Chains A and B, each alone.
Chain A
Amino acid sequence: MLKIEKLSVRYGTVHAVQDLDLAVAEGELVALLGPNGAGKSSTIEAIIGLVAAGGRVEMDGQDISRLPPELRIRRGLALSPEGRRVFAGLTVAENLRLAAATRRDRAGVRADTDRFMELFPVLRARMHQPAGTLSGGEQQMLAIARALMTRPRLLLLDEPSLGLAPRIVQRIFEVIAELKAGGMTILLVEQNAAHALRLADRAYVLGAGRLQYQGPARDLASDRLMSLYIGG
């Protein structure tokens, strides 16, 4: 579904990502791991079009690397960004309404809203509350619901468990598992590698902008992971 060839991202003289090849097949959950500053977010942002990048990004066999982010969303990509980035001054309902802006199926939007309220019951009581007043966990749930509202076929999740209490992290991973079970294709960036690898089919490990490892998640879940993170 998604195919990336020789992706490079530079910020001035900093090579955040270099010559990265990566692919995600339909229905797969792929984990993208690596230490802080490895280039994970840069990769995600290059895929969605928020940062300029060299190389090629293909969705369904079509080159999308020249498209602005809004048109990549329309091709079926969606991102729950690092740091959540909910619209703080807008209510939960308004956040979701914006995500549905490009959809014409009113009934479908209503059905999806109900579905997300079931997935994240805490949001239901807060529909008309400014998103900035939500707790970190609630904001993360809103960020995921908002990404799903655009009806993606490939969901990009950048550190959905960052800074959250264990119980909330648990809930987030349950939701990711449910989405996967429902057939959603997911590219997941996580610091919480052990957790991510339990769900993932395959994994990529970045280090200093370069690919360090790729393969089945099962193989990586062993002690090899630790050595990769520390020694490389």
Chain B
Amino acid sequence: MEYALQQLLNALAFGAEYALVALGLAVVFSIMGLVNFAYGEIIAASAYAVLLAVAVGLAAPLAAVGLAIAMGILASVLLERVAFRPVRRAPLTTGLLTAFGVSIVLQNLFQLFISPRPQALPLLNGLNQTLMVGPYAVSSLQLMQLATAIVAGGALVWFLNRTTLGIAMRAAAGDFATVRLQGIRADRVVAAAFALSGLLAGIAAVFVLARRGSVAPDMGFMLVLKAFVACVIGGFGSLAGAALGGMVLGFIEVGLLVLLPAEYGGIKETLTYCIVIALLLLRPEGLMGTRRELGDKEA
């Protein structure tokens, strides 16, 4: 029982983290049609901001959380301004290549100016403690991840449905030109999407830091790759799909961890992607995506 509960919390916590990062990707994609492959480096930038703050003597965990989030927003908005805005009207592949380029440049900057090797940063380790809830031992970090994902998801839904800027973002996902015909500045809507995305990156950075207790130039890479898979599972461009896809991926991974005998642990990733492929064969448009009519295939 305790083991099952522990694994359920595990799955929810992993799922929540994937869902947060997937939402960060989807917010930008739904409006710009851009898969921001530099997203992992925004997460890393947030973590490095904390590293630098600690280096100059600031060592309050709460301030570090605020700093990471602020840096996520700043880095994301700044990247949009200097890298993505100039290619906004270019074909989508140009944006994709730009994102890859930015990703590599940022990783190199971290390597060059800080270090190519991981740097210890235990400041936020305190977030990750074992709590006793009744007879059960649970990780405070996992509970926080779950709670944060629920709050962030709820806040996002509220923002998108109740504020004019949020409604404009939903409208822009379908027809950006017509949003401009309402007198709404295109740059504002895009900047808001990147700010939102950066905010989620900052939160993700806090969790990654608390778990691994160190920073590294490629620390965001695997997470963003997983989040990308979550977006594909959920249906690219759908925010609800991104959140759901993240959760599904969390459950697949933890489920396999539980079901596979320890000596087969090495094929966990392989099996994960087999399941993902099977899901996509069943629903090629993703769980929450809309089906596009492409005609019948000749037999």
Contact = CB atoms under 8 A, between A and B. Distances in A.
B188 to A, nearest CB: 9
A150 interface: yes
Interface stretch (A79-87, A193-201, A219-227): A79-87
Interface string B165-192: 0011011011101111111111000000
A110 interface: no
A104 to B, nearest CB: 12
B168 A98 contact: yes
A70 B179 CA distance: 9
Interface string B55-76: 0000000000000000000000
B161 to A, nearest CB: 9
Contacts of B6: none
B93 interface: no
Contacts of A102: 182-184
A98 B164 contact: yes
Interface stretch (A5-13, A33-41, A88-96, A178-186): A88-96
Contacts of B179: 98
**B-side binding surface: helix, strand, loop or mixed?**
helix
Given A74-B183, A98-B184, A146-B182, A69 B167 contact: no
A81 B178 contact: yes
Most buried by A among B167, B173, B179: B167
Interface residues of B, number: 18
Contacts of B168: 98, 101
B174 A89 contact: yes
Given A70-B185, A70-B186, A87-B174, A101 B164 contact: yes
Given A70-B185, A98-B164, A101-B164, A90 B171 contact: yes
Contacts of B184: 70, 98, 101-102
A52 B180 CA distance: 15
Interface string A110-137: 0000000000000000000000000000
B271 to A, nearest CB: 36
Contacts of A50: 177, 180-181
Nearest to B184: A101
A228 B173 CA distance: 42
Given A89-B170, A89-B174, A94-B167, A150 B183 contact: yes
A81 B178 CA distance: 9
Contacts of A145: none
A98 B180 contact: no
A112 to B, nearest CB: 14
B167 A73 contact: no
Contacts of A81: 178, 181
Contacts of B186: 68, 70
Contacts of A101: 164, 168, 182-184
A211 interface: no
A98 B174 contact: no
A99 interface: yes
B167 A99 contact: no
Given A68-B186, A98-B164, A101-B164, A73 B181 contact: yes
Contacts of B173: 89
B175 A85 contact: yes
A97 B182 CA distance: 10
Interface in A35-58: 48, 50
A78 interface: yes
Nearest to A95: B171
B177 A98 contact: no
Contacts of B183: 70, 73-74, 99, 101-102, 150
Interface string B151-170: 00000000000001001101
Contacts of B164: 97-98, 101
Contacts of B181: 48, 50, 69-70, 73, 78-79, 81, 147
A162 B184 CA distance: 27
Contact of B180 (A69, A87, A146): A69
A186 to B, nearest CB: 16
A90 to B, nearest CB: 6
A98 B167 CA distance: 7
Contacts of A99: 182-183
A97 B171 CA distance: 11
Given A73-B181, A73-B182, A79-B181, A98 B175 contact: no
9 contacts: A50-B181, A68-B185, A69-B180, A70-B180, A74-B183, A87-B174, A94-B171, A97-B167, A146-B182
Given A68-B186, A81-B181, A87-B175, 12 more contacts: A68-B185, A69-B177, A69-B181, A70-B186, A81-B178, A87-B178, A89-B171, A89-B174, A90-B171, A98-B171, A102-B183, A102-B184
Interface of B: 164, 167-168, 170-171, 173-175, 177-186
